[in-house]
Chains A and B, each alone.
Chain A
Amino acid sequence: MTLSPSSLEPYRRVAPTGTVDFLLRLAEHIQGRRFLHVNSTREGGGVAEILSRLVPMMGELGVKTEWEVMTGDPEFYATTKSIHNALQGADQVLTEAMLEHYLDVNRANAERIKPEADLVLIHDPQPAALIQARRPEDKWVWRCHIDLSGPQRRVWAFIRRFVVRYDAALFSLPAFGQELPIPQYLDYPTIDPLSDKNRQLARKDVWRSVENLGVPSDKPILLQVSRFDRFKDPIGVINAYRMVKRYHDIRLVLAGGGAADDPEANRVLEDVRAAAGRDPDIYLLSLPANAHLQINALQRAATIVIQKSTREGFGLTVTEAMWKGKPVIGGASGGIVVQIIHGVTGYTVTSAEGCAYRIRYLLNNPDLMRRMGEAGREHVRQNFLITRELRDHLTLLAHLTS
């Protein structure tokens, strides 16, 4: 069979040597097989973002790939947000009625979606109970994108009873692996270097875009891009900025928005507004889910990018910033400790004080910032581009369905 890899061709310029040809050869082994992704949102958040690129690429490689999004009411999303927080270790109250509603919504979605494919990949806990609708001949894999290193026991026990019925589980870090009777594999999330969020931008377009967002270009910019979520510690970032501000005249930009499945974001944003007070050099930007070019411009305009998460499955904004050649200071949590090579591509920190110290050190050493930025871009090229994730998914499909 002759493939028509027109959309893969541009990746030859950015991926490591030989990658595209290798993907084409790998795909020859699994021509015609069907792959189905199911998650809980079409827009907002890293999972939706990468699926929107990965799905057509797999199709082009000859694997019939579909992407279904489950639907639910506000009560369902409030429940799944609590499940999400509990699995990441936060205390949450989940009543029997909430869990029953979770199951009802999953049952209704199973009826609507009818999940059938050679390999069904279920993303995160929201659709985990869809496994009850599996056909015996299909292979099912649960892809957990969140930090499962210290889950609340009761909530994990509830989700685990579905996970054990899968053929395998995928986690973003070895530390997230659990006691399970099924194989567990490691799969680092990736970014698409050619998407609007990550593609090269002309310098004038960067600054025009940033100024359109109301951020002047006359001072170094510290930037954190993330959902307004307590685990991202935006208030810790403001505290670190204030410790640096005494020594360097800088601006802080906190840019983010909510995902469609995150009802808590507005409450967190209000708290962050209160913490920022009337400081004219702190900019809070609440951006829509499709503000990819603006985020790209902000990351390119930033002097240092911060991702001070206290819990993190895998901080895609860390990868995005490194791809743009920026030194990154990240919270020593979850995947960030793998993404940032401490002292080589940036620093991992455990406190606002540590964050402030590293910001000051970098601002005082511009050559080091440049070297770290270059090393970060190369680290991403080798490990965190979508072509690597595509390779992993094709391998899993070949391995489980052969």
Chain B
Amino acid sequence: MAHPRSFVFIGCVELKEILGRRAQDERELMEALEQIPLGSVYYHTHSVFLRHPRISGAYPNDFANWVATQVRDQPLAERLAVVDPFQFVRLEELRDELVSIIGQHVAAIHTVPRVLFGSPLSFVQSHLIEVSTGFEARTLDDFRRCVADVDQSAIYLHALHSQVMRHVPGGDFARWIGEDLGRPALAETIARMNPYQGGLERMRQETLRLLDGELGREAA
């Protein structure tokens, strides 16, 4: 039998480009969402996890957070908050969903809510630059050691980013464990991990717990 391919851990740094575009009310938010680059949709939804790997306020994406804390429109904030960006295969579909939610909300009310005492939303675009971390695993034991010590940007890139930008179902970790190590049950559990339960650091700890369980059963 051929040796499994090794898993090379890649991390990332995010250059955050300020677009200079701002929204003062919910209609402007909707119009901007239709026009901004997809990298900006990504910045305000997915890569929030890179900036808040452990802590978050009440809202998991920048749009919901802005509507809640600056515009102070609770109903729209709630609708935007439950959108899970990782459920969309393509960023265009996520954009359409957000625009549709805001459009429906704005059409149903008489006055478009706007910022009175808060700050406008300033749009930023994400540019992710991949960097080799030097960590590489050939076995499940190696993999466990790497997951424990690697920069959290690698957890983000392999577990979350890969699902969205490279369309890897379940992410790189699950695919390697399932396809290369031949452990489909473990792969499936890792693929189902929920990033909203404590962010990247919680994902790291949960992955370690699952790996320890698997390694422990093997040793026994």
Instruction: Answer yes or no: are A and B bound together in one complex.
Output: yes
Q: CB-CB < 8 A to A341: which residues of B?
A: 55-57
A71 within 8 A of B: no
B129 lies within 8 A of A395 (CB) = yes
A18 lies within 8 A of B149 (CB) = yes
B119 lies within 8 A of A175 (CB) = yes
Which of B151-159, B162-170, B177-185 interfaces with chain A? B151-159
- Residue contacts A-B, CB under 8 angstroms, 5 given: A16-B53, A16-B152, A175-B119, A185-B15, A382-B52
In the complex, what residue of chain A is closest to B155 when comparing beta carbons?
A18
Q: Which of A29, A185, A382, A392 is within 8 Å of B17, CB to CB?
A: A185
Interface centre among B22, B123, B131, B132 (most CB of A within 10 A): B131
Tell me the minimal C-beta distance from A394 to chain B in angstroms: 8
Q: CB-CB < 8 A to A343: which residues of B?
A: 57-58
Q: CB-CB < 8 A to B55: which residues of A?
A: 341, 344-345, 375, 378-379, 382
A241 within 8 A of B: no
In the complex, what residue of chain B is closest to A186 when comparing beta carbons?
B16
- The CA-CA distance from A116 to B163 in the complex, in Å, is 43
B171 within 8 A of A: no
Interface size on B, residues (CB 8 A): 39
B133 lies within 8 A of A174 (CB) = no
- For this complex, into which size category does the number of interface residues on chain A fall? 35 or more
A217 within 8 A of B: no
Which of A19-27, A153-161, A221-229, A288-296 interfaces with chain B? A19-27
B193 within 8 A of A: no
Which positions in A face B, CB cutoff 8 Å? 16-19, 21-22, 25-26, 29, 171, 173-180, 183-187, 332, 337, 341-345, 350, 375, 378-379, 382-383, 391-392, 395-396, 398-399
Which positions in B face A, CB cutoff 8 Å? 11, 13, 15-20, 22, 51-58, 69, 117-120, 122-124, 129, 131-134, 148-154, 201, 204
Given A341-B57, A342-B57: A185 and B16 interface contact (C-beta under 8 Å):
yes
Question: Count the A-B residue pairs with Cβ separation under 8 angstroms: how many?
Answer: 102
Q: CB-CB < 8 A to B148: which residues of A?
A: 17
Given A22-B131, A26-B131, A382-B52: A174 and B18 interface contact (C-beta under 8 Å):
yes
A174 lies within 8 A of B134 (CB) = no
Q: Which of B11, B18, B117 is within 8 Å of A177, CB to CB?
A: B18
Q: CB-CB < 8 A to B123: which residues of A?
A: 174
B149 lies within 8 A of A21 (CB) = yes
Tell me the minimal C-beta distance from A366 to chain B in angstroms: 21
In the complex, what residue of chain A is closest to B117 when comparing beta carbons?
A350
B20 lies within 8 A of A184 (CB) = yes
Q: CB-CB < 8 A to A399: which residues of B?
A: 15, 129
